[in-house]
Amino acid sequence: MKKYLHLLLYIHLTASLSACQPHLPVKQSTSTNKHTMSDKQAYYSRTDTSQLVLKDEEWKKILPDDLYQIARHANTERAFTGKYWDYEGLGTYYCAACGNALFKSDSKFASGCGWPSFYESIRPTSVKYHEDKSYGMIRVEVVCGRCDSHLGHIFDDGPPPTGKRFCMNSISLDFEGDEEKAPTGNAK
């Protein structure tokens, strides 16, 4: 009986850790997710929700290579390597490619899968869904509702109230803490 329980635990852990897999190696750039390139500033907005359509060549020019490979070619960063997988700050997560608001930190939870996990998006149009039949699996891909950048996948094993687990790539996310939004100084 003990052997059986150990086998079940091993199978469960293996399945949990590979839920968002497979991943391809991505060369990490030395840049941060806070992009400041002047080219990018023309497209990056945390308030504009209109559809953003750019040619692949333009995305390649304005995004760092690691973000480009994931956002535009549906690559995946390795589990437990992204900066937000266990981050607990309070605030808002945005699309790193275009600035679209995606998730609030109060919908983030510790799933143990190695990627940041959320149970709901900030608004229904923040993300879109596509069937993904790559690598011999059937999954649901999650892309940005504004620029169609690959964010990750969604699974039906999340907590209440939705039962969903948005399993996202950290590199596809920018984060702004609530304290960063608060006005500073004395208002007159």
- Tell me the catalytic residues: 167
**How many Cα atoms are found within 13 Å in the side-chain-facing hemisphere of 13?**
6
* 152 neighbors 168 (Cβ within 8 angstroms): yes
* 180 neighbors 90 (Cβ within 8 angstroms): no
Q: CA–CA separation, 159 vs 104, rounded Å?
A: 15
Give Cβ neighbours of residue 94 (< 8 Å, ≥ 6 apart): 46, 100, 101, 102, 173, 174, 175, 176
Give Cβ neighbours of residue 27 (< 8 Å, ≥ 6 apart): 65, 66, 69
Give Cβ neighbours of residue 93 (< 8 Å, ≥ 6 apart): 84, 101, 102, 103, 104, 105, 108, 116, 118, 168, 173, 174, 175
Helix (H, G, I), strand (E, B), or coil: what is residue 133? coil
CA torsion sign for 91, 97, 102, 106 is negative
